């Protein structure tokens, strides 16, 4: 019994370090992630990082991978819910437009991950994993909305969603939900016409005429 308690405590300490790292990246950028700052935020001794991670870079990398994985678990739950409830296309588009809203330090942490990947090729694996998962999710969500899109169009949808998240983070309220819904719908309609799926494009357009 004591061994189980110790193991739970160990996992909780490791998780506290990961959570503290993501929070600090979102609040102040990667430069703020130091042994002393992270352990102070996590409420742990300064030696704790060395117990779980080979270096501060190892901690940061694992923290961001964990964050990205959990972000997609959240969106997967949303996608599954919409699928199970047979939501109409406009509701699907609205739900994913809503998901672009900035969520404080979480959204800023993702933006920081993009910036770090731009400067440091070794850090690009996190963004590569994020984009692969995001592309798949965009294709699945678009299919629910009645739009079977190509991988290239899915990447465009992801770029649009990320762009709105950046705008919301910098200027809260600059793009309301109706602007986002219209942008997503317009992109999907255009993609369907380009792919020769004119009937599906017209159905999506006529469901919510401009």
Output the pTM of the full model.
0.80
Alpha helices in 99-150 (DSSP H): 105-119, 124-144
Asked whether residue 62 carries a pLDDT value surpassing 70, the answer given is: yes
Which domain does 146 fall in, by range? 55-207
Q: How much of the chain, in percent, has pLDDT values that exceed 70?
A: 91
Q: What is the pLDDT of residues 149-173, one digit of tens each?
A: 889 988 998 999 899 999 999 998 8
Residue 88: inside a domain = yes
Is 177:94 a contact under the CB 8 Å cutoff? yes
| pLDDT tier, 72 (very low <50, low <70, confident <90, very high otherwise) | confident
Residue 187: inside a domain = yes
Q: Say which residue, 5 or 115, is predicted with more confidence.
A: 115
Residue 193: inside a domain = yes
For residue 122, give the nearest of 113, 131, 110, 133 by alpha carbon: 113
The CATH number for 144's domain is 1.10.357
């Amino acid at each position: 019994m004591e061994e189980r308690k110790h193991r739970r405590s160990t996992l909780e300490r490791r998780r506290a370090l990961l959570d503290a790292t993501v929070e600090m990246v979102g609040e102040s950028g990667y430069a703020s992630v130091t042994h002393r700052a992270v352990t102070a935020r996590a409420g742990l001794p300064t030696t704790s990082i060395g117990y779980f991670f080979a270096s501060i870079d190892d901690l940061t990398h694992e923290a961001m991978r964990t964050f990205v994985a959990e972000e997609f678990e959240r969106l997967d739950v949303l996608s599954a819910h919409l699928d199970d409830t047979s939501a109409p296309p406009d509701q699907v588009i609205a739900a994913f437009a809503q998901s672009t809203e900035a969520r404080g330090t979480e959204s800023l942490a993702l933006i920081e991950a993009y910036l770090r990947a731009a400067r440091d090729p070794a850090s690009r694996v996190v963004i590569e994993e994020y984009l692969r998962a995001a592309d798949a999710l965009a294709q699945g969500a678009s299919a629910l909305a009645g739009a079977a899109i190509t991988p290239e169009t899915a990447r465009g949808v992801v770029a649009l969603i990320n762009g709105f998240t950046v705008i919301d983070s910098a200027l809260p309220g600059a793009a309301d939900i109706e602007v986002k819904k219209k942008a997503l719908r317009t992109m999907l309609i255009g993609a369907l016409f380009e792919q020769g799926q004119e009937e599906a494009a017209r159905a999506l357009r006529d469901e919510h005429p401009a």
